[in-house]
Amino acid sequence: MGIDQIQYIFSGLSLGSILILVALGLSIIYGLAGIINMSHGEFMMIGAYTTYCIQQLFILYLPQAWLDMAFFISLPLSFMVAGLFGLIIERLIIRHLYSRPLESLLATWGISLILIQIARNLFGDLTAVKAPAVLSGGLQIAEGLMLPYNRLFIMALTVAVFICVYFLFQKTRLGIKIRAVTQNRNMSACVGISTKKIDMITFMIGSGLAGIAGCAITLIGNVVPNMGQTYIVDSFLVVVSGGVGKLAGCVVSGLGIGIFSKIFEVNFEAVYGKALVLIFIIIFLQYRPKGLFPDKGRADE
C-alpha cells in the first residue's frame, strides 16, 4: 500500500469520525422519538459558538498563556449549553410533536432558521476560533504523508464519545430505559417508566452531543451561523443508511460514507464524488430499506 492510499484512508476515517460525531445525537433522537430533527445542525452551531464565547472570555479575563486551555474547557461546556438549549426547545415545542414526523420536520426546520438568524444578530460574522497550539501542525509519518493533529484529535474524541454513549446505553439504568422506550413506548409506560422524562433527557443528550461535534468542528472549519446546514444532510444519510437509532449502524455507515466519499473524490471531482455517494446510498436503500442494522423502533410503527 502506497503513501497515497494511506492518506486517502486517513482522510476517509477523519471525515467518517466527524460524521459519526454529528450523527450520533441525531440517530438517538430519531430512533427514540421519531422526530426528524432538522435543527440538529443548529445545536452544533450552538456548541461552536459556546467554544467561541469561552475563547473570548479567556482572551478578556485570563492570561495569554492559558488560551490553549479554552478549547478543552469548551468541550464539556458546549455539551451542557447545547443540551440546555435542547431541553428548552424540547419543553417548549418538540414535546407536542412526538410521533408526528412531518410536523416535527417543519417545526424543527423553523427552529433552525430562527436559531441561525439569532446567531447572526448576536455575533455577526466576526467569529473565529483559534485552534490550540498543541493541535496545529501534524505528525510526519513519511515523506509526503502528514497526519494533522486536529484530525487525529477529532478521531480520538469520536472514539471517546462513542464509548461513553455506548456505556450509557448498555450499562446504566437510564440507558436501559431509553432503549425500552425506543422499542416499545406503550409497554414501557405500562411498566412504570416515565416516557416523557425519558424523551426529555434523550433530546437533551442528543442536542448535547451535537454541541460537542460543533466544538470539535471549530478545529477544522469556521464558526458561522449556518454551519449546521452543511452537515445536516450528510448526518441524515449516516442515520438512514445505518439503521435508525442503532449506534453500531451509525459507526459503520459513518466510516463507510467517509471512506467512499474520499475514494470517489480522488478518482472523480469532489462534486461528482458527492453525487456518486448519494447514488450508492439510494441503491443500497432499495435493498436494505431499514439500513445496515434494522430494528423495530418506534419510528417503524
Partner 1 sequence: MKKILFKNLSTAYIAVFAGLTVCCSGGGKKSQEKQEIDDNAVEVGILHSLSGTMAISEVSLRDVLLMGIEEINNSGGVLGKKIVPRVVDPASDWDLFAEKAKELLTKNKVSVVFGCWTSVSRKSVLPVFEEYKGLLFYPVQYEGQECSPNIIYTGATPNQQLIPAAQYLMSKEGGEYKQFYLLGTDYVFPRTANTILRNYLLSQGIPEQHIIEEYTPFNHQDYQTIVSKIKRFAASGKACVLSTINGDSNVPFYKEFANQGLSASHCPVMAFSVAEDELRSMDTEFLAGHLAAWNYFQSIATPDNLQFVENFKNYCKTNNLPGKDARVTDDPVCWSYTGLYLWKAAVEKAGSFEVEKVIAALSDMEFQSPSGPVKMHPDNHHLAKKALIGKIRADGQFDIIWETDDIVVPEPFSEFAK
Chain contacts with partner 1 (rule: CB under 8 A): 4, 7-8, 10-11, 14-15, 18, 53, 77, 80-81, 84, 88, 114, 117-118, 120-122, 124-131, 136-138, 140, 144, 146, 148-151, 217, 220-222, 224, 226-227, 229-231, 261-262, 265-266, 269-271, 274
CB of 238 to partner 1, least distance (A): 14
Q: How far apart are CA 274 and CA 261, in angstroms?
A: 6
The residue (of 195 and 229) whose beta carbon lies closer to partner 1 is 229
Is the CB of 176 or the CB of 282 nearer to partner 1?
282
Dihedral (CA of 114, 27, 52, 81) sign = positive
Contact 65, 43 (CB under 8 A): no
**Of the two residues 184 and 226, which places its CB atom closer to partner 1 in the complex?**
226
Sign of CA dihedral 206, 158, 16, 115: positive
Element (H, E) at 146: strand 145-148
Joined grid coordinates for residue 125: 460574522
Minimum distance of partner 1 from residue 136's CB (angstroms):
7
Q: Which is nearer to partner 1, 32 or 154 (CB)?
A: 154
What is the closest distance, in whole angstroms, from the C-beta atom of residue 61 to partner 1 in the complex?
10
Burial 216-243 (b: 16+ CB within 10 A, else e): bbbbeeebbbbbbbebbebbbbbbbbbb
Is residue 43 a contact partner of residue 227, using CB atoms and an 8 Å limit? no
Q: 264 vs 293, which CB is nearer to partner 1?
A: 264
**How far is the CA of 138 from the CAs of 133, 146, 149, 152, in angstroms?**
11, 6, 5, 9
Beta carbon of residue 40, minimum distance to partner 1 (angstroms, whole number): 16
Nearest residue (CB) to partner 1, 174 versus 266: 266
Q: Which is nearer to partner 1, 47 or 148 (CB)?
A: 148
**For 161-230, what is the HEC assignment?**
HHHHHHHHHHHCHHHHHHHHHHHCHHHHHHCCCCHHHHHHHHHHHHHHHHHHHHHHHCCCCCCCCCHHHH
Residues linked to residue 148 through DSSP beta bridges, in sequence order: 138
Cβ-based nearer residue to partner 1, 99 or 222: 222
| Shortest Cβ 282–partner 1 spacing (Å) | 18
Closest separation in Å from C-beta 195 to partner 1: 26
With cell 431541553, the residue in question is 87
Write down the least CB distance from residue 180 to partner 1, Å: 31
* Shortest reach from residue 215's CB to partner 1, in Å: 15
